[in-house]
Structure formats: structure tokens, C-alpha cells
Amino acid sequence: MSESMEKLKLAEKLVSRGKVSRRQFVQLALAAGFTAATAQTMFTKAARAEPKKGGSAKFGLAHGATTDSLDPAGYPDTGTQLPFAGAMSNNLTEVDADGNVHPDVAESFEPGDDAATWIFKIRNGITFHNGKSVTPEDVIASFQHHMGADSKSAAKSLLTDVKEIKADGKDKVVFTLGGANADFPYVASEYHIPIMPAKDGKADWQSGVRTGAYVYGEYEPGVRGHLTRNPNNHKTAWFDDVEFLTIADVTARTAALTAGQVHWISRADLKTLNLLQRDPNINIDEVTGFGHYTFPMHVNVAPFDNVDVRTALKYAVNRQDIVDKVFLGHAKPGNDNPIAAGVKFAIDPEPKFTYDPEKAKFHLKKAGMENLKVNLSVADAAFNGAVDAAVLYQQHAKPAGIDINVVREPNDGYWDNVWLKKPWCASYWSGRPTCDWMFTTTYAKGAAWNETNFADPRFNELLIQGRAETDEKKRAAIYAEMQQIQHDEGGGLVLVFNNYVDASSKKLAHGKIAGNWEGDGFKIAERWWFA
């Protein structure tokens, strides 16, 4: 490396610390053989690379409802997930941008002899927002908040295999499971299970006191939430304060970003994305994760209780057409398997549920029908483009003798009033990094968020077997069979696997964006900064 390049490399490291001016940097780059334009770009990139504290960040969210609350047992969408699960809270563990699990409130974790026991050591010196040190009793109460016969938590099904939680000294918590589970550290990262202070033996969720990067401040459900930086956080957060604004209308959300009223928006409008891309002040952030959009059917409600009706509906939708026209290529067609291709043990079941009106007719006939009329409840609160996708599906289905009545539901309250209640509706899932986690949350018998009411005995038998199996080949075979069952018999019409397409001001900077959840793994407030 030449002397000029060595000086330039050193200068790149010093730019972000304010030690090298733009003029000095450009002169060094020119001496190293770069053009003036390239030098300017290099300076800007170097200046943004090093995180800096300060500033008030505003985020525009696609979701939020007047029924939202601080109770982590619910947290139905990004209106609560981003501010409360991501900014305000920590779990025992967290998943990084590469899908690996790491300690968070815990300092370390390790299994017992057969992974049926897991020991978590609480991080030394970690405190709640009120200054109280985190104890094993707090951890136990936080997990028990989602357990028991009366619990309605979305995380309940993930913890049914937990037989005992006990303290081991002043800084260790021991989980005893009903069988081996190599994925349990991932379970401990579930956003519904933040660590909360114990009060009278129960988790105190009402106070909003947590351990996270930001402290609870002002909150208007379905409107806005304002949080301030926690000066005693065990991880560095950069913004002085953050504000989360619910802007359900995508046009209004886009306008707020371009006008500088917010610095980041979720779920950018794909129809006008090309216009945003031309804006010199805007970045488009697109990440492929595990997320998918679905039209779940209640398999215990007629006519969806007939597997041939479900199969007919799966053959009656042209998913590629929806990818092209609704999502403008920012998605991949689904095949009614909720396990994303990037998840370990994922398969692509056969036969492929590609568009085939004749096969749809065949299965309708097997069900004893010549024609079928059904209601599909949708709102763009489920996912951007849900209404358009449903209308297009309606057109696809007509040649098969299927009349889909698209029922447009209000955005506000959709997750409380429509999802899990109407027998056929639109839904979205951020996906999960393991097969067990996805299946346990969404398709296990009795799971709070079992959106299809699926209760297949063989499936649930395999669920328990797969969780305890340590042999990789046997585990792969188990999860392959479970995916095939969902494909063949399930009520989850997995429409597409979506990309997260967000937009942000170039005033913001960040590292690699995680795709496990929306908004950089829900941690945008913690991980991003002002350049």
C-alpha cells in the first residue's frame, strides 16, 4: 500500500471523530488517485460510519390502534412492537442481523446435560429504569406472566414445555423443560417476553418500567409514543429521545418523510417507490427476512373445514401475478408453507400450489360443490396491498367457479376485531428464525395466535418430537413432514414471502439491518443514529 493510501485509510477513521475536515480528506484522496466526486462520496460515507450520540428521532409506523396497551402479552403489531418491545425493553437474549442468538439481559446461557435444562446468568450490574437491580425473581415473574391456564399471551404456547423456573443464587435462573430443546435461547428472545420488575410476585407491566435503551414517557394509543434515552442502559443508544407516530395511511406516511416530519417510515409505498428513490434526501432500505403475508382460514368453520375446499382456494390464486402487480417484484410467491427458505430445515413441498383453475374445480367437485361463495375480510392494516391482493385474487378465482366477496374492514381495531375472529381474513407474520418457534406460535393446538384453529394430532405429535430431537437428520425429517402437513392440510394460505421495504432520511445512519423483525429487528431506536 502506498504512503498516500495509508494516510487516506487513517483519515477515514478520523473523519467521524471530527479530526479531519472535508477539505483535508479530499486533498488526501486526490493524492491517492481518486476523483473529486469519489472523494466527496468517501468522505460522506466515512463521516456516517461512526455512531454519535444526540438528536430527536421520529419514526412513522404503519400500525397502531386505540386498543393498544403496555401489556407485552398482546403486542399485536409494530405500533407496540417497535416502541415497547424494541426501544423500551430487553429480553434475556436477542437475535442479531445474521440470525444468531446472543445474551442480552443475561450475561451468558448454557444447557444442562441434555438441553432439557437451561441456565441463564443475569448480567452483572443491569438495572431497570427505576434503578432497581434485575434479580432472578424479576425474570421468573416476567416468564410466568405468559404461563398458566388463564394466560392469553401470544407467547403462552412457546412456554408450555417449561415445567419449572427457579433461582440459583443471586444471579442465575434455571429453566427445566419437559424435554430437550436446543432452540430455547431463541425462545427467550421472543418480543412478548421482556424482562419486567416483579411486584408482589407478579410482573409489573403497567408501570412501563423495563431495562431497555429508552424510558417510557408519553403515550397515546394508536397515535404516538415518546421515549427518552436511558442513561444507565447496558448497551449504547444514540438518540436523546425517540417518537413513534402511527400513520396508517401510506400516502400520508410518505408525505411525512419527504417533508422531514419523520426520519423513517415502515412499509414504503411500492407503487411510488421509484419517486422516493429519486429524492436525494431519502434512502430505501430493503431487507429479506422471514416475513410472509397470508390469508388464513379457520379449518373448523364451514366451508373451510373441508380440506378439498381449502385446496381449491390454494389453486385458485395466481401468486406470481400478485407479486408482479401488487408487490412490484418485492416478494416471492408462497407455497402454503410458513417456513422461509432461509430457515434451517426448510423445504419447498410438492406439489406446488401454482395457479390452476382446473385443479381448483377438481377439488371443489371432490368437496361436492360446483360453485363456492365465500367472504374474505381484509384491510391494509394487515399488510400494505392486502386489499389490492384480495381484489386480484377475486378475479383469479372466478374461472374456477369461486366467488370471493372482498369485505373491506376498518384499519383501526383490525387485529382486535377481525383477525382470529373472522373465518377468512388477511394476516401477516414477521416469521421466526426456527421451525419450532414458527409452528409453536402459529399452528400448535391451543396456541393463542393459532390463526387457522389447526389441531392436527400428527402435527402436534411431531412438534413435541422435533423440539426434543438432537439428531440433525431425524430433526430434518420431522420438520419436513410438518411442513408437508401444513401445505397439504393446513388453513394457512401463504400468499407471498415479503421483503421489508422501508424508507429513511439520509440524516440517519446504521449498520447491517436485521431481517428477523421489522425495523431492524425492532431495534431501530437502539441501533441507528444521526450521521
DSSP E strand stretches across 372-523: 372-378, 402-408, 427-429, 492-505, 508-509
Is the domain spanning 89-203 CATH 3.90.76.10? The answer is: yes
Q: What is the pLDDT of residue 213?
A: 97
Cis peptide before 194 (omega within 30 of 0): no
Identical fold, 89-203 and 289-498: no
For residues 382 and 87, what is the distance between their CA atoms, to the nearest angstrom? 23
- The CATH architecture assigned to 212-281+506-530 reads 3-Layer(aba) Sandwich (3.40)
Q: What is the pLDDT of residue 48?
A: 60
Q: Provide the CATH topology of domain 289-498.
A: Dipeptide-binding Protein; domain 3 (3.10.105)
Q: What is the pLDDT of residue 432?
A: 86
Neighbouring residues of 351: CB distance < 8 A, sequence distance ≥ 6: none
Q: Where are the domains of the chain?
A: 3-49, 89-203, 212-281+506-530, 289-498
Residue pair 87/240 in contact by the 8 Å Cβ criterion: no
Question: Nearest 10 degrees: CA dihedral of 515, 186, 191, 432?
Answer: 50
Residues 129-144 as b/e (b if ≥16 CB within 10 A, e otherwise) read beeeebbbebbbbbbb
What Cα–Cα distance (Å) separates residue 390 from each residue in 285, 310, 341, 379?
26, 16, 25, 10
pTM of full prediction above 0.85: no
**Hey, is 401 helix, strand or coil?**
coil
Q: What is the pLDDT of residue 60?
A: 98
The overall longest dimension of the chain from CA atoms, in Å, is: 81
Along the 531 residues of the chain, how does pLDDT read in single tens digits? 577 777 666 666 665 555 667 778 778 878 887 887 677 666 666 666 679 899 999 999 998 989 999 999 999 888 999 999 999 999 999 998 888 899 999 999 999 878 899 999 999 999 999 999 999 999 999 999 999 988 989 999 899 999 999 999 999 999 999 988 988 999 999 999 999 999 999 999 999 999 999 999 999 999 999 999 999 999 989 999 999 999 999 999 999 999 999 999 999 999 899 999 999 999 999 988 889 999 999 999 999 999 999 999 999 999 999 999 999 999 999 999 999 988 889 999 999 999 999 999 999 999 999 999 999 999 999 998 999 999 999 999 999 999 999 999 999 899 999 999 999 999 999 888 889 989 999 999 999 899 999 999 999 999 999 988 888 899 999 999 999 999 999 999 999 999 999 999 999 999 889 888 899 999 999 999 999
Q: What is the pLDDT of residue 480?
A: 98
For residues 73 and 216, what is the distance between their CA atoms, to the nearest angstrom? 18
Q: What is the pLDDT of residue 44?
A: 62
Cis peptide before 351 (omega within 30 of 0): yes
In this structure, the chain runs to a length of 531
Residue pair 212/87 in contact by the 8 Å Cβ criterion: yes
Give the DSSP letter of residue 341.
T
Q: What is the pLDDT of residue 19?
A: 60
